[in-house]
């Protein structure tokens, strides 16, 4: 006859077996859930990548408004795509979703460089040579006037650089600079002339952020001179001003666009943004603009007064991106870009008029200009380079440009991942 304690033992063993079986069932359930979650995530990630590739490859204007469709004709492969103008570049937004699960990526699209058009220097042929003096270096292919390049003795400085003068292949330039892209210029003009009467004004916030998944946030300062200070502005934001806009060193600006008559950037500023003015842009000393930034002069109408369009970069400022000037109608006073002493430009300079490179300035990338200017205390010298460096080989091979510039290919790549999950 069994003892009563054996019954307790059987119950305990059955309880343990039950707990083990329940644990296995729960583990299998959670494993299945995680597997399905991972499978959906991988599927969404593949679909988002497909959406990104579609936006990179397509030039269809239908994507200027959000377009939703199925990649392969079933509900599990739905994507929503949008591509819109953002200064010198485009913004792409790709979303993939299955029921309530969604993945998205917002990114900047930029152009690859056409190596057959790329050059360290393109100087328009005005039927005269240009001269080098001091410790000047030009490294990379160069398009120069048929009259050539020569050594010069200026300000008690003889030429001390490489005896080849240009360390690269020489080509003969044309009497006009390669033109900027008309379509991109047209888009920039539309931004300038649109009605801003219903736009917001900047409130007393210390931070303004706007996702690129939401509508663009426009702010309009009218004809009042404003100073942007003690604020962080990031994302899908555009500022407009009919007069001068001042950017203080305490302002942190990322990705935003600014359009104004004149823009002044105070010493010590650090950020990356795109600034466009109709008259002038002045950047004080010791500023830092990270890639991809832009400073551009845009004149689509004749100036009412004989004012010179100008971009001025202060001493010891580092700028990464694109500097350019554009005038639709020729002005007696040619647009001017001035690069200060010990300033460094990483990227591209396109000066429709005159480019002044001061002592020990450096350009890692490319320079396209109609004319050089050098000035000392007494005299102005045209088409002289003294103690400056233009080095296309120093630019990263991964550098991407804007389709505004004449060296851009039609092929697009991702310049910057802005948002995503």
For residue 84, the surrounding DSSP H or E stretch is strand 78-86
- Are residues 83 and 143 located together in one domain of the fold? no
Q: Is residue 247 part of a domain?
A: yes
Q: pLDDT tens digits for the chain (421 residues)?
A: 456 667 777 777 878 787 787 777 776 667 666 656 666 778 888 888 888 999 998 877 778 888 888 887 776 778 899 999 999 999 999 998 887 788 899 999 999 999 999 999 999 999 999 999 999 999 999 999 999 999 999 888 899 989 999 999 999 999 999 999 999 999 999 888 877 766 666 656 678 899 999 999 999 888 888 999 999 999 999 999 999 999 999 999 999 999 999 999 999 999 999 999 999 999 999 999 999 999 999 998 765 556 889 999 999 999 999 999 999 888 888 999 999 999 999 999 999 999 999 999 999 999 999 999 998 877 888 999 999 999 999 999 999 999 999 999 989 999 999 988 7
- Are residues 215 and 71 located together in one domain of the fold? no
- Are residues 250 and 131 located together in one domain of the fold? yes
Which burial class, exposed, middle or buried, applies to 281 when counting CB atoms under 10 A from its CB (0-12, 13-18, 19+)? buried
**Residue-number span of the structural domain to which 34 is assigned:** 12-108
Query: How many domains in the chain?
Result: 2
| Helix spans in 259-415 (H) | none
Helix, strand, coil content of the chain in percent (nearest 5): 20, 45, 35
- Are residues 86 and 194 located together in one domain of the fold? no
Domain end (from 75, 108, 141): 108
- Are residues 169 and 264 located together in one domain of the fold? yes
- Are residues 349 and 202 located together in one domain of the fold? yes
For residues 280 and 303, is the Cβ–Cβ distance under 8 A? Answer: no
Domain end (from 59, 75, 108): 108
Q: 187 phi and psi, to 5 degrees? A: -65, -40
- Are residues 71 and 129 located together in one domain of the fold? no
- Are residues 72 and 198 located together in one domain of the fold? no
pTM, 2 dp:
0.89
């Amino acid at each position: 006859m069994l003892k009563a304690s054996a019954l307790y033992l059987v119950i305990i063993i059955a309880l343990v077996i039950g707990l083990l079986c329940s644990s296995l069932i729960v583990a299998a359930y959670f494993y299945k859930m995680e597997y399905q979650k991972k499978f959906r995530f991988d599927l969404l990630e593949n679909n988002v990548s497909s959406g990104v590739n579609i936006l990179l490859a397509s030039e269809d204007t239908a994507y200027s408004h959000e377009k939703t469709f199925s990649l392969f004709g079933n509900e599990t492969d739905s994507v929503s795509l949008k591509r819109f103008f953002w200064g010198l570049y485009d913004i792409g937004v790709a979303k993939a979703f299955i029921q309530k699960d969604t993945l998205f990526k917002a990114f900047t699209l930029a152009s690859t460089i056409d190596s057959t058009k790329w050059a360290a220097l393109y100087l328009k042929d005005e039927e005269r040579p240009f001269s080098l003096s001091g410790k000047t270096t030009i490294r990379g292919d160069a398009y120069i006037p048929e009259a050539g390049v020569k050594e010069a003795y200026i300000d008690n400085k003889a030429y001390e650089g490489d005896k080849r003068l240009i360390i690269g292949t020489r080509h003969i330039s044309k009497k006009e600079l390669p033109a900027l892209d008309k379509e991109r210029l047209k888009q920039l003009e539309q931004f300038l002339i649109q009605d801003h009467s219903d736009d917001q004004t900047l409130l007393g916030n210390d931070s303004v952020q706007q996702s690129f998944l939401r509508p663009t946030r426009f702010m309009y300062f009218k004809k009042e001179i404003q100073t942007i200070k003690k604020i962080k502005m990031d994302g899908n934001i555009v500022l407009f001003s009919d007069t001068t806009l001042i950017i203080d060193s305490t302002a942190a600006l990322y990705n935003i666009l600014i359009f104004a008559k004149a823009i002044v950037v105070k010493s010590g500023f650090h950020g990356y943004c795109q600034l466009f003015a109709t008259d002038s842009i002045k950047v004080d000393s010791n500023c830092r603009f990270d890639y991809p930034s832009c400073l551009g002069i845009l004149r689509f109408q004749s100036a009412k007064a004989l004012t010179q369009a100008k971009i001025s970069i202060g001493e010891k400022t580092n700028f990464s991106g694109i500097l350019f000037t554009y005038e639709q109608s020729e002005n007696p006073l040619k647009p001017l870009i001035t690069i200060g002493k010990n300033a460094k430009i990483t990227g591209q300079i396109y000066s429709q008029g005159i480019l002044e490179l001061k002592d020990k300035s450096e350009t890692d990338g490319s320079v396209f200009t109609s004319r050089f200017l050098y000035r000392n205390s007494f005299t102005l010298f045209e088409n002289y380079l003294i103690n400056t460096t233009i080095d296309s080989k120093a630019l990263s091979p991964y550098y991407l440009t804007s389709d505004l510039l004449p060296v851009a290919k039609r092929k697009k790549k991702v310049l910057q991942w802005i948002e995503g999950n």
